Amino acid sequence: MALYNDRAYAYERMKAIDDKLDDDLSLLPSFCDDDERNTLAFIELSHYEKTGTFIGLHPLVDQLNERERLERLLISNTASFMTEFVNSQNNIKHYNSRIKNEKYRSDEERMNWLEIVKRENDKISLMQSIIKKDSK
């Protein structure tokens, strides 16, 4: 249901931005992001309707799959879960250090590192929410 809601929400945002897009081109990236989310949600829902499984293209589906994997890992092997948590923290430190010291060769490499840092931060937030949920 969240995937369908995200699709509808992205469509509504696109409609609102479309009216203002001619006057303000700075809204174009938001419009494109919403269009991509809408398209990915449509693909996921279509595939689910046909096969009963998700592909994992949409960020919501991908995060749900990762959450399930981490919850199972916490229950079955807590030490491995904590190792993964610490590794994510170390990855963030490592890539932030490289970014700060400008050890990258190109802007593309820097952007890749920033994406890795964002992904690892998201993973840590997800793991922390799983730990909080498990401790209740």
Q: pLDDT of 67-98, one tens digit each?
A: 777 888 898 999 999 999 999 999 999 999 88
What is the value of pTM for the model shown? 0.55
Whether 67 and 114 share a structural domain? yes
Task: Judge whether residue 38 has pLDDT over 70.
Answer: yes
Inter-residue long-range contacts of 121-126, CB under 8 Å, 24+ positions, other chains counted: 121/92, 122/63, 123/66, 123/88, 124/85, 124/88, 124/89, 124/92, 126/63, 126/66, 126/67, 126/70
Domain ranges, residue 124 = 59-135
Whether 68 and 112 share a structural domain? yes
Task: Judge whether residue 27 has pLDDT over 90.
Answer: no
Task: Judge whether residue 1 has pLDDT over 60.
Answer: no
Whether 94 and 117 share a structural domain? yes
For the chain, strand residue ranges (E) read none
Of 27, 51, 75, the domain-final residue: 51
Question: The tokens 């081109």 sit on which residue?
Answer: 25
Whether 125 and 66 share a structural domain? yes
